[in-house]
């Protein structure tokens, strides 16, 4: 059993976070167009060598915090469509309040028309009061694959992609027993909301790539000033690629906001993952 208990400092921090964030989301939902630093996004490009998936492409989004559908969400859909991905992965913090559900599923439905969508849950999805069975029912109705400590395996012809998705590691709801054993020509991807999943893994969990979010990249980045806001569960991982031994983890800056509806020097991010074969990688090196 790999699920761990939440320490009392984490419980206190999460409770304070919930008590602060919920009323702020209610207040700012009254002025939904009052946002700053969220109107544009940047593209990040990641390349991984795995012959059986060479030529395949995925898009990774995170931390939508989508309580109201805005014009910027249309721009994200258009950008994703242009990228022509085979799969779309979204690593939690889908919304903040239950009123966001129709807006969220409007966005997810548009993405699903582009490519199969796989989602996991984050801390704010639980703070919202929407229950896991409600998420499951809505996901099924919209033909979205919600992974809550579950795995799907997709055959790709030459090999297969195993997509394991755990519940939020920052609330210590992740159960890594869903990670499948390695197999020939299999690429195992782990979707997890918070980067501390890396600290919860045990040697027998063999994963080729972990995708997560949660950090918002710090959300407010003042040049020359160290990152001063990171939620519990990041363990110092702010953005981009991280390695721990053979493990590789990518932290997406996410699309939305926490506490205050602005981001500073920290654009929302769409990450693009391209698989290539080992020979192409060797030639590029
Ligand atoms: Fe978030």
Which of 56, 10, 48 minimizes the C-alpha distance to 172?
10
pLDDT, one tens digit per residue, over 232-258 is 888 889 899 998 888 999 999 999 988
pLDDT of the residue at 7: 64
Q: Where residue 115 falls among pLDDT bands split at 50, 70, 90?
A: very high
- For ligand 1, the distance from its centroid to the CA atom of residue 215, given in whole angstroms, is 7
Rounded (10°) CA dihedral 121, 57, 204, 232: -40
The CA distance from 10 to 173, in Å, is: 13
Q: Which CATH class is domain 8-284?
A: alpha beta
Q: What residues does 235 pair with on adjacent strands?
A: none
Residue 116 has pLDDT above 90, yes or no: yes
Give Dmax (Cα) for the chain: 54
Give yes or no for a contact between 38 and 77, defined as CB atoms under 8 angstroms apart.
Answer: no
Residue 106 has pLDDT above 50, yes or no: yes
- For ligand 1, the distance from its centroid to the CA atom of residue 231, given in whole angstroms, is 8
DSSP secondary structure string, 105-167?
HHHHHHHHTTS-EEEE--HHHHHT---HHHHHHHHHHTT-EE-SSEEEEEE-SSSEEEEEE-S
pLDDT of the residue at 1: 39
- For ligand 1, the distance from its centroid to the CA atom of residue 157, given in whole angstroms, is 35
- For ligand 1, the distance from its centroid to the CA atom of residue 60, given in whole angstroms, is 14
% pLDDT > 70, the chain: 95
Average pLDDT of the residues in 36-52 = 92
The least confident of 11-15, 46-50, 76-80, 197-201 is 11-15
Return the number of other C-beta atoms located less than 10 Å from residue 247's C-beta.
17
pLDDT of the residue at 16: 75
pLDDT of the residue at 179: 97
pLDDT: which is higher, 23 or 147: 147
pLDDT, one tens digit per residue, over 190-239 is 999 999 999 999 999 999 999 999 999 988 888 888 887 888 888 889 89
Instruction: Retrieve residue 188's tokens.
Output: 């195992």
- For ligand 1, the distance from its centroid to the CA atom of residue 220, given in whole angstroms, is 13
pLDDT of the residue at 285: 67
- For ligand 1, the distance from its centroid to the CA atom of residue 93, given in whole angstroms, is 5
> What does the domain layout of the chain look like in residue ranges?
8-284
| Continuous segment of H or E residues that includes residue 88 | strand 87-91
- For ligand 1, the distance from its centroid to the CA atom of residue 122, given in whole angstroms, is 7
- For ligand 1, the distance from its centroid to the CA atom of residue 43, given in whole angstroms, is 19
- For ligand 1, the distance from its centroid to the CA atom of residue 205, given in whole angstroms, is 25
pLDDT, one tens digit per residue, over 137-194 is 999 999 999 999 999 999 998 899 999 999 999 988 999 999 999 999 999 999 999 9
Residue 2 has pLDDT above 60, yes or no: no
- For ligand 1, the distance from its centroid to the CA atom of residue 285, given in whole angstroms, is 35
- For ligand 1, the distance from its centroid to the CA atom of residue 251, given in whole angstroms, is 12
- For ligand 1, the distance from its centroid to the CA atom of residue 94, given in whole angstroms, is 8
> pTM, whole model, 2 decimals?
0.93
pLDDT of the residue at 236: 86
% pLDDT > 90, the chain: 66
- For ligand 1, the distance from its centroid to the CA atom of residue 127, given in whole angstroms, is 11
> What is the dihedral sign for C-alpha 249, 17, 255, 115?
positive
Residue 71 has pLDDT above 50, yes or no: yes
Q: Where residue 76 falls among pLDDT bands split at 50, 70, 90?
A: very high
Which of 283, 253, 265 minimizes the C-alpha distance to 64?
253
pLDDT of the residue at 107: 98
């Amino acid at each position: 059993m790999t699920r761990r208990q939440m320490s009392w400092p984490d419980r206190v921090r999460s409770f304070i976070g919930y008590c602060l964030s919920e009323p702020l989301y209610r207040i700012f939902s009254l002025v939904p167009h009052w946002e700053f630093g969220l109107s544009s996004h940047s593209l990040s490009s990641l390349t991984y060598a795995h012959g059986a998936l060479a030529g395949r492409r995925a898009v990774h989004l995170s931390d939508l915090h989508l309580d109201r559908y805005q014009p910027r969400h249309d721009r994200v859909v258009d950008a994703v469509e242009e990228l022509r991905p085979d799969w779309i992965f979204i690593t939690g913090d889908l919304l903040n309040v239950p009123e966001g559900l129709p807006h969220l599923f409007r966005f997810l439905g548009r993405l699903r028309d582009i490519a199969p969508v796989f989602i996991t849950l984050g801390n704010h999805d639980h703070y919202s009061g929407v229950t896991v069975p409600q998420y499951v029912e809505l996901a099924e109705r919209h033909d979205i694959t919600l992974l809550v400590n579950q795995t799907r395996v997709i055959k790709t012809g030459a090999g297969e992609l195993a997509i394991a998705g755990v519940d939020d590691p920052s609330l210590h709801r992740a159960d890594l027993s869903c990670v499948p054993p390695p197999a020939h020509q299999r690429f195992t991807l782990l979707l997890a909301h918070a980067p501390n999943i890396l600290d919860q893994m045990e040697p027998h969990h063999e994963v080729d790539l972990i995708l997560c979010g949660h950090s918002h990249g710090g959300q407010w980045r003042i040049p020359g000033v160290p990152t001063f806001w990171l939620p519990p569960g990041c363990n110092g991982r702010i953005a981009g690629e991280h390695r721990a031994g053979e493990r590789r983890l990518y932290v997406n800056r996410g699309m939305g906001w926490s506490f205050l509806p602005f981001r500073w020097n920290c654009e929302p991010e769409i990450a693009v993952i391209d698989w290539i074969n080992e020979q192409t990688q060797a030639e590029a090196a």
